[in-house]
Structure 1
């Protein structure tokens, strides 16, 4: 990763005398107790001498439910119907989930002007804080999204032995989990996540995610503290990822807090690319002052680009406040030099996005949150965002019924090049867009949720400051499918975001006319669920569709992780019905789509056929929307690409980070330079989602029958302009004739001048009746496979199919442990669910941290007509 300023920064730091500032997490050694068992006050409880005998080890960061689960006091709510065995807060009362959390830590009171701060990055929903017998917050804190910071210098024990005690209150309005979207809607009266009362893709979280759910840190500074630094980059003109770059402008500012009773004069400074940028300031006592440093004209900048368009170059900026030769405080900020522009496309009547002056067709996925119980980690964030990059997507939308995602999520998006469309915490379901008999209160009442408007605005301002330096953060959005109440909306759009950010477009709401004008009456976002493939090519939806898609059932290995053995049965072959456990996990029916592959006898066979549907659906979705790029559409965002719970819908990988065929169908259909076939009209075309002209390419079209006999239809040289769709020829008449009896494989390849494959695509076309009758009659393919370690965290798998054999169709490759043959998760596959044509081979690279640590592993391969086998790694 690019770190241009590191050496020059280190040289500067060595010349300065650093004070003993540092920051560390309080992330272990917590204990907790339900308030019913605590008979003393917070002041007494926070006395280090008070005995905590019999208290329960607590998970912090984490929710109350996480702590109960970790101590085996409740069953795993992700498995089977276990969630029904856990008491719901609405029925049992808020006291049941009201807990004290206590942490002993060592920190001596500092000398001189040094200061110590206690920071909470997220508590849901309210809390009172005590330290060493003293109350820390003067009034109860509320708001899941509002950070807290307290100067505890004067409260630290002289001995250095301190006790922190925090009582956490659940949301005041937990809502009735009556099966509605957000239950009865009253969950939205709080300033917190709405999905915790249940949605059509998740069951209710029984504690509504009560807890100290995000990081708690101790921070040590000198007299002056740097708060909320702000970096803006200006990249004028139209740029390309390669070649010399015209200068860009870097603007840096920060809030400086003087915690002492005297004025202090010092210097705010940083070094970047050999430039020393400084400003001397005098800070009055007990004040916070916003300081803007002189602009830096950065020559030959290394730019940040979205995934698929260029590299994600990042700079490290070390910001310091120097006071009399010592550093009072310092902040390290990673940022990318880029500028995001938006325009109104008068042809599509939708918002068009550009990065560094180049228009970008948006291929996105909707995201809820990483884990329904707020169990977050940098490693999980990295894996999930990497999956999105591997799908050839370039944007993630954070849905408004959840949260503003954590900095660690944004750091991963910065690394992998995923633009982020960040909703604020409003949804049409709870906040009154529709008449809804499941809701407790009428639309006009719900239209004014949440109850505390000032807290909402304070939280918005705080989260903007927290996230605004990330290169990946591209857009703010008022809410999911509805704006916030009028007073909140006006303050956000006209005041808070322009003042605290000023660089990002603000969408009124996720499918508003400011994003995508719906001139087609009833046709809007969606469709949801399984569709005929022709729908994605010929049914015109919103020109910048914020939600389309939905299925995502995993294969058998995925299902057995959370479905009890007695429920591992396929849907009824006649009615398509499933049992209550499948329904509880929000299953969407597949059967009309699976049936053309033939009736199934067991769940493993059914789930494998469902993967064929998954792949075809999402390849078709991305291809269909891409085929109308800049004509019908300027972007599309899949609903949805991940699920924070063990649901049977809307996910490209399961809760356990095991990918299914949706991921690889999306990857194929969203490839930057891609050849594809319109099954409705029969047109072969290519889409180029890069800034480079694709010249001197050979288009090769072949068919393969079920025995593997091939027929070359054509070879022709073609070219495709940048960010363009190029139609070539209509193949429908010949393909309809060839596939009529048993169906057909249709192979499309683009080769460069060296005869290397640039892109390839293989369709399995049904017979004249719409069934895949030929697939059921395919003879086994006797593949050979090898697996070798290609690097410390890389395994290269090569699958060969002999000439004269049938197509080795739809092969799943997995890394498994040798003793039990269980998948090792997470790992990443350069491709999967691949088919190998006769006389050819395919190579897949398996990578990721788990590959390096998995010493006793095998590669598992199986396919539609390929016997399951295990390959040793050499």
Structure 2
């Protein structure tokens, strides 16, 4: 039987100045940090002082003892970052140049000093650029010239910390006769019967040995002989329970086991969990253009999505528990789709296992982002090998529903001046429209493929045409107010978002000793977007007065504006289902403490946007929309049951007076939207009035004027506290009330975000991690909109 021995201990990291203990899996930065040789790059402006790390060569070493008892011994690396030579006692075993692949070396009968010598990623990238020529990119760093996590080189939300190291597990595998080299599982459903087809490839040590495979799933067992080095086993499982995305059903998972045998003696075992479901992507043309709608088990769905970036700039630090926590936060916010963005990595099995269990659909980008990528060697062969390995590796996961060729590169070619600069040089189109769809079609025909995001389906339309396929909405934020979201109805919004700083406690930890200000050195360093603070200011001033010199108000108002911006988009787009079939927020998470578009900051704290997302992505959403005929109420029902009731509409003054009131009945089918016209006499007029609509515990508000024009009363409210709770009772209109629990204690968390209370209303906010409740402290941590000055 194959025996695997992890090689986690005994490693050292050699560098120009000597040697230090190394942790494997890990990377150079984490080893230097553990040894106290570098400061924490996440604190202050330390990042800039560590640029030298990515320019050096590094060597990992350990002893490899002799092993016996099997015919063959392999040294297996699940991931090397990135360009390396692997040597044993000075003998070259092989060279690597791809972070996204695994590597296997035959070390049968060998022992001695194992060394993995890493070349600077910069040196390799610059050498490839010198050979193949310049290619344009969104950033100046040379990430497009090698197969490495692009955001190691920095992004508009990430630090430039160019890593090197043995970033995934390494082990010795000892085996005799034969081993399982690859299993490609095709999982389908045919008229209620689950079908698992296992295409098996083996590596032999003894060519003549007769081999069989035995597979089991769901109580079904099948045995088949192998002809040479490959074969196929097909199992049919009657009456299977379907796997559904969260909110649509349960997530049953079935254990699949395949055993390789020689004369009934087991040689190797492959085990995975699978789920039975069907997935289609409806891209058919209609009167609105051409769609982009996910269909799971025959059910059409509006995808409530978030974009995912690597959760740490040093991915080897991300544990199974951390994946589960972050993805659990996504599920708790109503998310049902996570897009793994193309500037990162193919995540570990722990990520996809968590998505399988939580019912989170996974959209997987191939790792290409915001650059023209050369298609010549050595990159072309690496791209195909990497794609074939990872497609097969991830195929068992029912959560995986889409392969996507790249992030923004087709759009970049058309709109960012690349075509003229390239002058006919290769730039990646052959990957996205050739290599990658071929690999997916050959290896995983059970899932759809799309060439890029955004992509309109063909060059017949602009790549980012909102009427066709996927759309990235970045005019809003970069140039336009968030009201611009309402100007069109894309078929599927794969990226959109608005920035805000991280939680106060996150900034305070990341910038020790700094007097925080919107433009203080550390705050500006932890803002990576081009003119990010300028865009924040201009975006706020369209609605609210800018709080000059008041960091606490600035911090609060930026959180308010982020939540409102995202709400403007999602409410508008959800109200247009089924024309618009999904929104994927940029972004769920951060990889360090930074001002960004994230809903969960780099320390794992939820921003107010996160809590707003829970409302926006709930099965049922009530929203007031401006249409040509006047105000319209949209009752969005993504639940599995019809929804009917009586809407309570109130036209109110900001002083709390009810100026008009009525009840209006409505009804909507499951997975549908009902639209109800607001009676003209209840439409608010001028800055002193607003509309309130309530039904079944849901509320929608409509203020017809910008906040800077609204004469809000000075907020008056009472505060009481109890263990785990802060209760606020309003005596006036209190607009966008926010308890910043982390100001009470860095570990404290509130269970709600922004709230608007009418006079006489009361709300209790749950608080975890605050052991000594104090009413005065609670009041000091409460923020709300104040009258314009």
Q: When the two structures are superposed, what TM-score results if normalisation uses the length of structure 1?
A: 0.77
2:248 counterpart of 1:248: no
User: Structure 2 matches for 1:122-271, cutoff 5 A?
Assistant: 122-131=79-88, 133=89, 135=91, 137=93, 139-155=94-110, 163-171=113-121, 172-174=123-125, 183-184=139-140, 186-205=142-161, 208-236=162-190, 246-258=192-204, 260-271=205-216
In 1, Cα distance between equivalents of 2:334 and 2:458: 22
Shift of 1:395: 1.9
Provide the rounded CA distance (Å) in 1 between the counterparts of 2:168 and 2:463.
Answer: 43
Contact 1:780/1:866 (CA < 8 Å) preserved in 2? no
- CA-based RMSD of the aligned residues comes to 3.7
Task: Return the match for 1:83 from 47, 50, 55.
Answer: 47
Q: Match for residue 224 of structure 2?
A: 279
Equivalent residues in 2 for 1:453-852 (5 A)?
453-482=380-409, 485-489=428-432, 491-493=434-436, 495-514=438-457, 518=462, 525-527=472-474, 528-529=476-477, 532-536=481-485, 538-540=486-488, 542-570=490-518, 580-581=524-525, 583=527, 587-588=532-533, 589-595=535-541, 596-598=543-545, 600=547, 602-631=550-579, 633-678=580-625, 681-690=630-639, 692-702=640-650, 713-730=661-678, 734-737=682-685, 740-741=687-688, 744=690, 747-751=692-696, 757=697, 760-763=698-701, 765=703, 770-774=708-712, 777-787=714-724, 800-801=727-728, 810-812=737-739, 814=741, 821-823=745-747, 831-834=752-755
Q: Residues 300 and 705 of structure 1: is their aligned pair in 2 closer, same or farther, counting only changes over 3 Å?
A: farther
| Other structure's SS at 1:682 match | strand
Q: Deviations over 1:112-160 (max 9, x none)?
A: 55x54322111122222234x36362x312211121123434225xxxx
- Say whether 1:334 aligns with 2:280: no
Residue matched to 2:13: 32
Which deviations, in whole Å up to 9, do the C-alpha atoms of 1:800-852 show, x marking residues without a partner? 55586765953437489xxx92226xx8x764444566666657778xxxx8x
Determine the C-alpha separation between the residues in 2 that align with 1:331 and 1:861: 58
The number of residue pairs the alignment matches comes to 744
For 1:718-776, what per-residue CA distance to the aligned partner results, in whole angstroms no more than 9, with x for missing partners? 32112222112226763423x732x65x544432xxxxx4xx1353737577545416x
Name the CA shift for 1:421/1:465 in 2 (closer, same or farther; >3 Å): same
- How has the CA–CA distance of structure 1 residues 248 and 701 changed in structure 2, closer, same or farther, with 3 Å as cutoff? farther
Query: What SS class does the counterpart of residue 359 from structure 1 fall into?
Result: strand
| CA distance in structure 1 between the aligned counterparts of 2:217 and 2:707, rounded to whole angstroms | 66
Which runs of no fewer than 5 residues in structure 1 stay unpaired?
A: 1-18, 38-53, 157-161, 238-245, 284-288, 432-445, 752-756, 788-796, 870-874
The one-character-per-residue Cα deviations of 1:619-650 (angstroms, maximum 9, x if unpaired) are 2221111112223x222222333232333122
Distance 1:68 1:89, change over 3 A: closer
Cα 1:430/1:703, change in 2 over 3 Å: same
CA distance in 2, matches of 1:72, 1:329: 43
Q: How many Å apart are 1:419 and its aligned residue?
A: 1.9
Q: 1:332 to 1:844 in 2, by over 3 A?
A: farther
Q: Does the CA contact (< 8 Å) of 2:404 and 2:451 recur in 1?
A: yes
Structure 1 pair 802–522 and aligned structure 2 pair: CA distance change class (3 A): closer
TM-score if structure 2 supplies the norm length? 0.84
Secondary structure of residue in 1 paired with 2:606: coil
The CA deviation at 1:593 is 4.5
- How far off its partner does 1:101 sit? 0.8
Residues 1:578 and 1:122: Cα distance change in structure 2 (over 3 Å):
closer
> Is residue 2:74 matched to residue 1:117?
yes
Taking the aligned partners of 1:345 and 1:377, their CA distance within structure 2 comes to: 41
Residues 322, 620 of structure 1: alpha-carbon distance in 2 compared, 3 angstrom cutoff: same
Shift, 1:174, TM fit: 4.4
Measure, in 1, the Cα distance between the counterparts of 2:735 and 2:492: 38
In the other structure, the counterpart of 2:60 is: 101
Give 5+ residue unaligned stretches, structure 2: 411-426, 783-789
Which residue in the other structure is 1:352 paired with? 293
The aligned counterpart of 1:240 is none
**2:495 counterpart SS class:** strand
Contact kept? 1:420, 1:475, Cα under 8 Å = yes
Partners of 1:697 and 1:719 within 8 A in 2: yes
Post-superposition offset of 1:312: 2.2
Question: Per-residue CA shift, 1:683-718, capped at 9, x if unaligned?
Answer: 11111223x232443433446766666688333443
Q: Secondary structure at the match of 1:566?
A: coil
